[in-house]
Amino acid sequence: MRDNDINRIVQFGDLFDRRKYINFVSLGRCREFFFDRLVENNFYMDTFIGNHDIPYKNTLKYNSPSLLLGEYTDYVNIITEPVSLKLDNISATVIPWMCDENMKEALEAIEKSTDPLCFGHFEMAGFEFTPGSICEHGISKDLFWKFKHVYSGHFHHISTKDNITFIGSPCQLTWSDYADPRGFFILDTDTLKTEFVENPFANFHKLLYDDAAMTLDEVNDTDYEPYRDTYIKVILRERNDMLIYDTLIDKLESVGAMILIVDDHKHKDIIADANIISEADDINETFKKTANQQTTADADTVYKLLLSLYDEAIKEE
C-alpha cells in the first residue's frame, strides 16, 4: 500500500473467524500486526459484517468488530446495514451478511441502487465455496444484473461468473485451500479495473518422499524456510533409508512445521508422482469417499451434508 500510494482498504466481512469468542493472544496479535499498523500508516478501512462476525445467525446486532474495535473508530468504519459507500469519484452499494433481520432492507437496497458497484458478503447459488464444490442454495446472481461489477466475500475460493466475483480469502485457512491461490485485489476507481495480488505465503504443503531418488546431501542442502510454521503432508512413496528420512523430518521440525505422514506405498509404480500427491486425502476427498461408500442415501446429498456439518463445526470451535 505504501509503495503504490494506496491508503484505503475495503474488507469484505469475516474480519474475525470465530463466531462466539476470540482468545486474548489472537486479539493482541490482530492489534499488533494489523490494526495498529493502520494507525501508524494513516490507512483507513471500511469493513462490513460477515457471518463469522456474529454469534447469532438471525441478527447483526451483536458483532465482533463493533465490540472489539472501539478505539480504532478514526481508522475503521464498521458497516452493519446496507449503505452507498463513496470511493473517490464512484460509489458502491454495500450489503452486509443477509439474515432474517435485514433481508427485506437488503433486497430493497439492491433493487433501488444506482451505483455501478456492489460489495457484499453473499451466499450465492452456483459458485464454488471450495474448488469443485458448488453452492446450490442462497440468493440468485440474477438479482445483481444492473451492476457493472459485484464483489463478494464469504466463499474462500476466488471465482468469477458474468459480472460477479468472489474475491476469496487473503490466506489459506484449511487443507481445502491447498494449492488454491489467495491474495487481495486492487481496484482502480477511475477505470473500475482490478489487479489481483497473490499472497506468496502458503500455509499448507504436500511433499512426496522417495529416498530412492534423493541423497542425504540434497536433504541437508534444501532450504526449509518456506515450510516455517506451516502444515505439511509428507507422502511416503519409498522409505528405505531411515537416516535420510529422519534427517528430513528433523529439518521440517526445526522450522516449526506441523507434519502429517501419509503412507502411500499402495500406489507405488502405478500412478504419476503428481497424482500421488493430489490423492493424499484432504477433508473434501475424505467426505466424498465416505459418501460414496454408503448405500442408504444419495451420495451427493450425504457429501453436502458432511460439508455443511464440518463448516458449522469449525465455526463453533
The C-alpha atoms of residue 53 and residue 83 are separated, in whole angstroms, by 18
Identify the domain boundary among 167, 198, 229. Answer: 198
Going by their DSSP bridges, the two strands 117-120 and 149-152 should be labelled as: parallel
Do 194 and 84 fall into the same domain?
A: yes
Are 186 and 276 part of one and the same domain? no
Mean pLDDT of 278-297: 67
For 63, what's the count of Cα atoms within 13 Å in the CB-facing half-sphere? 24
The answer to whether the CB of 280 falls within 8 A of the CB of 235 is yes
Is 276's pLDDT higher than 50?
A: no
Give the per-residue pLDDT at 273: 47
Do 31 and 176 lie in a common domain? yes
Residues 189 and 222 placed together within one structural domain of the fold: no
Identify the band that residue 279 occupies on the pLDDT scale cut at 50, 70 and 90: very low
Residue 269 structural domain: 204-315
Burial 271-290 (b: 16+ CB within 10 A, else e): eeeeebbeebebebeebbee
Residues 152 and 255 in one domain: no
Instruction: Examine the domain organization and report whether 210 and 77 are in the same domain.
Output: no
Q: How far apart are CA 254 and CA 232, in angstroms?
A: 13
Query: CA-CA distance, 242 to 308, in Å (whole number)?
Result: 41
- Work out the average pLDDT over 239-255: 95
- For residues 14 and 136, membership in a common domain is answered with yes
Question: Domain for residue 288, yes or no?
Answer: yes
Half-sphere exposure of 259 (CA within 13 A, CB side): 20
Q: Is the pLDDT of residue 217 over 50?
A: yes
Asked if residue 165 and residue 121 are part of one domain, the reply reads yes
Q: Are 171 and 217 in a shared domain?
A: no
Predicted TM-score (pTM) of the model is 0.81
